[in-house]
Amino acid sequence: MRIRIVDAFTDRPFHGNPAGVLLLDSFPDDAWLQNVAREVNHAETAFAHPLPESGEADWALRWFTPVTEVDMCGHATLATAHVLASTGSHEGPVRFATRSGLLTATPRPDGSLTLDFPTAPLTPVTAPDGLAEALRAEPLSVLDTGPQVGDLLVELADEKTVRGLAPDLRALGRHSRRGVIATARAEDPSAGHDYVSRCFFPNVGIDEDPVTGSAHTALAPFWSGRLGSPALTGLQASARSGHVRTELRGDRTLLSGRAVTVIDGELLA
């Protein structure tokens, strides 16, 4: 069967967040799916198969890290929508049935794709004991992102602090279900982004995720409230880097970006 590696939230190969994408006739057993994701060894591998035309969704979609299945993944959803559009497997907006409910992806005339995801509920919390030591930076505020995202959102002093983080990942994993989103306001908004972030997910086998769509369902309401605009652009300042355009629409968040296929091959197992 065909397997593709797609770099998401970028228009250049070897940037953004890579995801494996497999279009199937149906889902094999979970052990096989997990083994493929472990072999691909990217943050997520997406598996999708078409659904009957009469249903509310067009494709079923699941996401696996190298160690576990996850409830939500933005970049692998974008990668899957890109493969469907670029191969002619699906035309126009596509509706995915997922563990996070119905998610849609809409191609745009400029070549980008827009995902419609649930907005993460944000609840201010007291910084857990040891969080600052694990991050090796002092939080300005800490928020819980709810059960679907499963992270702590941690605001830091400035962009320089976020870019310079070198956390104790083992210690960091003790403080949330998936991991920690570190963020700060952009130092220079004229550089093309309004805020920066980095995402550390040691509990699902991802020390640092290059560009995290699901995290932006929490970053969008946080920064839209702080900056007074529903439409913003986030830069995830990982080594690979990538931009996510966000638009807050109440209980839904639109995530927009581009994707590029870098490997198109055959899975023999």
CA 35 to chain centre: 21
pLDDT tens for the chain, 269 residues long, are 999 999 999 999 999 999 999 999 999 999 999 999 999 999 999 999 999 998 999 999 999 999 999 999 999 999 999 999 999 999 999 999 999 999 999 999 999 999 999 999 999 999 999 999 999 999 999 999 999 899 999 999 999 999 999 999 999 988 888 999 999 999 998 999 999 999 999 998 899 999 999 999 999 999 999 999 999 999 999 999 999 999 999 999 999 999 999 999 999 98
Are the CB atoms for 75 and 43 separated by under 8 Å? Answer: yes
Mind listing the pLDDT tens digit for each residue in 128-185?
A: 999 999 999 999 999 999 998 999 999 999 999 999 999 999 999 888 889 999 999 9
Share of the chain above pLDDT 90, in %: 96
Nearest CA to 152 out of 167, 142, 137 is that of 142
Structure tokens at 79: 């990668």
pLDDT (0 to 100) of residue 149: 92
Catalytic residue among 39, 44, 53, 159: 44
Are the CB atoms for 78 and 211 separated by under 8 Å? Answer: no
Q: Reply yes or no on whether 44 is catalytic.
A: yes
Number of neighbours of residue 32 by Cβ within 10 angstroms: 12
Q: What is the CA radius of gyration of the chain?
A: 18
